[in-house]
């Protein structure tokens, strides 16, 4: 079971290329600050603009630096079933603890199409698979019924839920059971998601506030609801600021402010507007986030 604060890692770039040194430093810092799991090559990691070679390298470096200290759930999503199968096989070969597979974007498959997509990946490689259900980016929304069908397969172990529907974790647990791993994909719902039966969060904010995000999850697990809520309240302006424009633009700007890496993104992502920069700066300062 994957639990606690997982970080949806950004991919640092320098002069257009993958900045491996900065990425290694980011992963090491995350572990030192208490992050309980790493997720490279997701949307926050700008996976759509990574070459296949870069995608594999980012995954391999993350696993190497983690060194088994925390689990790595490698992004393996694509709207091409074959490509997603290949990425999942690579994740397994590289030593990942799981694979994060997004619902196929743009193609707009039916519920049956989604089922067959994930079944093909399940059948291709023996690795725990987390379904990434994010209707705002994929357009499609996997139903609880389809997820329940998939949960009967041996490698489908959980979901990253970015629907912002807090009925979902309860309905999913009723339908599938408490052992099905449910991780929030929305920082703003991290605590309500836990209250509804979730097990953790795959967080964008954890890129710049790993200790606070981990402490919040730990406080909830320890039954210290007041501390968990206090941390979430402190972080809420940060969550909002990091999505004032399309992610990962704002979080990369924040990472640049903190000296984690350059704020460089790849087209079609562009530098965020000055008003957005001001909002990110104010939120970071207000929450007392430093490195």
pLDDT of residue 68: 98
pLDDT of residue 269: 96
DSSP 8-state class, residue 72: B
Residue 49 contacts residue 86 (beta carbons within 8 Å): no
Structural domain boundaries of the chain? Answer: 4-222
Could you confirm whether 252 is annotated as catalytic? no
pLDDT of residue 164: 94
pLDDT of residue 147: 98
| DSSP string over 40-97 | -SSGGGTGGGS-HHHHHHHHHHHHHHHTTSS-BEEE---SSHHHHHHHHHHHHHHT-S
Mean pLDDT of the 87-103 span:
98
pLDDT at 53 over 90: yes
Catalytic site residue from 132, 252, 253, 277: 132
Could you confirm whether 160 is annotated as catalytic? yes
pLDDT of residue 126: 98
pLDDT of residue 170: 97
pLDDT at 291 over 90: no
pLDDT digits (tens, 9 = 90+) for 224-261: 999 999 999 999 999 999 999 999 999 999 999 999 99
pLDDT of residue 1: 78
Q: Hey, is 30 helix, strand or coil?
A: helix
Mean pLDDT of the 166-177 span:
97
The secondary structure of 180-247, three-state, reads CEEEECCHHHHHHHHHCCCCEEEECHHHCCHHHHHHHHHHHHCCCHHHHHHHHHHHHHHHHHCCCCCC
Contacts of 197 (CB under 8 A, 6+ apart): 169, 170, 172, 173, 178, 182
Rounded to whole angstroms, the Cα distance separating 265 from 254 reads 13
Residue 117 contacts residue 131 (beta carbons within 8 Å): no
- Output the six-digit token pair for 47: 């996976």
DSSP 8-state class, residue 49: G
Q: Does residue 20 have a cis peptide bond before it, meaning omega lies within 30 degrees of 0? A: no
Task: Write down how long the chain is.
Answer: 291
Catalytic site residue from 14, 106, 108, 160: 160
Q: How confident is the model at residue 190 (pLDDT cuts 50, 70, 90)?
A: very high
Rounded to whole angstroms, the Cα distance separating 280 from 252 reads 10
Q: What fold does the segment set 4-222 form as a domain?
A: TIM Barrel (3.20.20)
pLDDT digits (tens, 9 = 90+) for 34-47: 999 999 999 999 99
pLDDT digits (tens, 9 = 90+) for 153-162: 999 999 999 9
Q: Hey, is 35 helix, strand or coil?
A: coil
Average pLDDT, the chain: 97
pLDDT at 133 over 90: yes
Residue 5 contacts residue 214 (beta carbons within 8 Å): yes
DSSP 8-state class, residue 254: H
Q: Which helix H or strand E contains 122, and what residues bound it? A: helix 111-124
Rounded to whole angstroms, the Cα distance separating 90 from 107 reads 24
Nearest Cα residue to 155 out of 218, 220, 88, 106:
88
- Percent of the chain topping pLDDT 70: 100
Q: Hey, is 98 helix, strand or coil?
A: strand
């Amino acid at each position: 079971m994957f639990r606690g604060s997982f970080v949806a890692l950004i991919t640092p770039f320098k002069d257009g290329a993958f900045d491996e040194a900065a990425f290694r430093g980011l992963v090491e810092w995350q572990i030192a600050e208490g992050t309980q799991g790493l997720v490279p090559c997701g949307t926050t990691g700008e996976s759509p603009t990574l070459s296949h070679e870069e995608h594999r390298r980012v995954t391999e470096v993350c696993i190497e630096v983690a060194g088994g200290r925390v689990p790595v759930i490698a992004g393996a999503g694509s709207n091409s079933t074959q490509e997603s199968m290949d990425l999942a096989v690579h994740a397994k070969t590289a030593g990942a603890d799981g694979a994060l597979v997004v619902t196929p974007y743009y193609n707009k498959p039916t519920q049956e199409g989604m089922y067959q997509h994930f079944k093909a990946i399940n059948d291709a490689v023996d690795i725990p698979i987390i379904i990434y259900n994010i209707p705002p980016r994929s357009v499609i929304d996997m139903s609880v019924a389809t997820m329940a069908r998939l949960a009967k397969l041996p490698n489908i172990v959980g979901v990253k839920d970015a629907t912002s529907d807090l009925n979902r974790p309860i309905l999913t647990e009723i339908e599938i059971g408490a052992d099905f791993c449910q991780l929030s994909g929305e920082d703003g719902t991290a605590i309500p998601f836990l209250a509804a039966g979730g097990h953790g969060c795959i967080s964008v904010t954890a890129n710049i506030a790993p200790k606070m995000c981990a402490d919040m999850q730990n406080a909830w697990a320890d039954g210290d609801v007041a501390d968990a809520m206090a941390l979430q309240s402190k972080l809420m302006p940060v969550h909002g600021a990091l999505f004032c424009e399309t992610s990962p633009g704002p979080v990369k700007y924040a990472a640049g402010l903190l000296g984690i890496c350059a704020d460089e993104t790849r087209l079609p992502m562009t530098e965020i507007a000055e008003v957005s920069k001001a909002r990110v700066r104010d939120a970071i300062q207000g929450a007392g986030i430093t490195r």
